[in-house]
Amino acid sequence: MISISPQPPATNPAPPGDDKPDLLPRYLALVWIVLTVYGSLYPFSGWQQNGADPFAFLEWAWPRYWTAFDMITNAIVYLPTGFLLTIALFHLPGRWSGVILAVLLAACVSLGMESLQTWLPSRVSSNLDLGSNTLGAALGAILAHHFGNTLRRWWRFWRARLIASRPHVDLGLTLLGLWLLTLLSPETLLFGVGDLRHTLSWLPTLTFAPETYHVTESAVVMCNLLAIGLFAAAMTRGRWLAYLLVPLFFATAALVRCLAAAILAGQDQFLVWLTPGVREGLSVGGILLVFALLLPPLGRLVLAALCLLAGAMLVNLAPIDPYSPDALALWRQGHFLNFNGLTRWISSIWPFLALPYLILASRRM
d(CA 36, CA 173): 20
The lowest-confidence range among 116-120, 214-218, 230-234 is 116-120
Q: Considering 135, 162, 189, which residue would you say is the last residue of a domain?
A: 162
pLDDT at 29 exceeding the cut of 90: yes
DSSP string covering 203-237 = S--PPP-HHHHHHHHHHHHHHHHHHHHHHHHTTBS
Domain-embedded: residue 191? yes
Task: Identify which of 90, 94, 86 has the alpha carbon closest to the alpha carbon of residue 13.
Answer: 90
Sequence-separated (6 or more) residues with CB below 8 Å from residue 127: 57, 58, 59, 60, 61, 63, 114
Judgement on whether residues 49 and 194 belong to the same structural domain of the protein: no
Domain-embedded: residue 7? no
The share of the chain scoring above pLDDT 90, in percent, equals: 48
Average pLDDT over residues 171-181: 94
d(CA 340, CA 263): 13
Judgement on whether residues 207 and 119 belong to the same structural domain of the protein: no
Judgement on whether residues 134 and 226 belong to the same structural domain of the protein: no
Domain-embedded: residue 102? yes
pLDDT at 172: 94
Judgement on whether residues 319 and 190 belong to the same structural domain of the protein: yes
Domain-embedded: residue 10? no
Interior CA angle at 76 toward 71 and 80, to 5°?
145
Total-model pTM: 0.84
The share of the chain scoring above pLDDT 70, in percent, equals: 84
| Continuous segment of H or E residues that includes residue 297 | helix 297-317
Judgement on whether residues 241 and 290 belong to the same structural domain of the protein: yes
Helices marked H in 89-126 — which ranges? Answer: 97-116
Sequence-separated (6 or more) residues with CB below 8 Å from residue 266: none
Read off the DSSP letter of residue 42.
Answer: T
Judgement on whether residues 44 and 152 belong to the same structural domain of the protein: yes
CA distances to 34, 69, 82, 344 from 78, rounded to whole Å, are 12, 14, 7, 21
Judgement on whether residues 239 and 301 belong to the same structural domain of the protein: yes
Interior CA angle at 153 toward 152 and 158, to 5°?
100
Q: Considering 122, 137, 162, which residue would you say is the last residue of a domain?
A: 162
The lowest-confidence range among 8-12, 107-111, 148-152, 229-233 is 8-12
Q: What is the CA radius of gyration of the chain?
A: 23
Helices marked H in 16-67 — which ranges? Answer: 24-41
Domain-embedded: residue 4? no
d(CA 227, CA 119): 41
pLDDT at 200: 74
pLDDT at 105: 96
Judgement on whether residues 150 and 182 belong to the same structural domain of the protein: no
Q: Considering 162, 185, 203, which residue would you say is the last residue of a domain?
A: 162
Residue type, 291: F
Domain-embedded: residue 106? yes
| Helix 239-265 and helix 210-233, axial crossing angle in degrees, nearest 10 | 130
d(CA 162, CA 246): 12
Judgement on whether residues 227 and 313 belong to the same structural domain of the protein: yes
Task: Identify which of 274, 279, 314, 281 has the alpha carbon closest to the alpha carbon of residue 192.
Answer: 314
pLDDT-derived band of residue 269, with 50, 70 and 90 as boundaries?
confident
Domain-embedded: residue 11? no
pLDDT at 345 exceeding the cut of 90: no
d(CA 257, CA 252): 9
Backbone angles phi, psi at 89, to 5 degrees: -105, 15
pLDDT at 169 exceeding the cut of 60: yes
Within 13 Å and on the Cβ side, how many CA atoms surround 173? Answer: 21
d(CA 285, CA 226): 6
Judgement on whether residues 300 and 224 belong to the same structural domain of the protein: yes
Pick the more confident residue, 22 or 114.
Answer: 114
Average pLDDT over residues 174-187: 87
Cβ 219 vs Cβ 288: under 8 Å? no
**Burial letters for 322-337: b for 16+ Cβ neighbours within 10 Å, e otherwise?**
eeeeeebeebeeeebe
Q: Which domain holds residue 299?
A: 169-363
Pick the more confident residue, 161 or 343.
Answer: 161
- Widest Cα–Cα separation across the chain: 83
Judgement on whether residues 157 and 197 belong to the same structural domain of the protein: no
Please count the other Cβ atoms lying within 10 Å of the Cβ belonging to residue 276: 10
pLDDT at 336 exceeding the cut of 60: no
d(CA 206, CA 317): 6
pLDDT at 6: 45
pLDDT-derived band of residue 289, with 50, 70 and 90 as boundaries?
very high
Judgement on whether residues 153 and 187 belong to the same structural domain of the protein: no
Task: Identify which of 233, 219, 186 has the alpha carbon closest to the alpha carbon of residue 313.
Answer: 219
The lowest-confidence range among 14-18, 148-152, 242-246, 302-306 is 14-18
Q: What total number of domains does the chain contain?
A: 2
Mean pLDDT of the chain: 84
Domain-embedded: residue 15? no
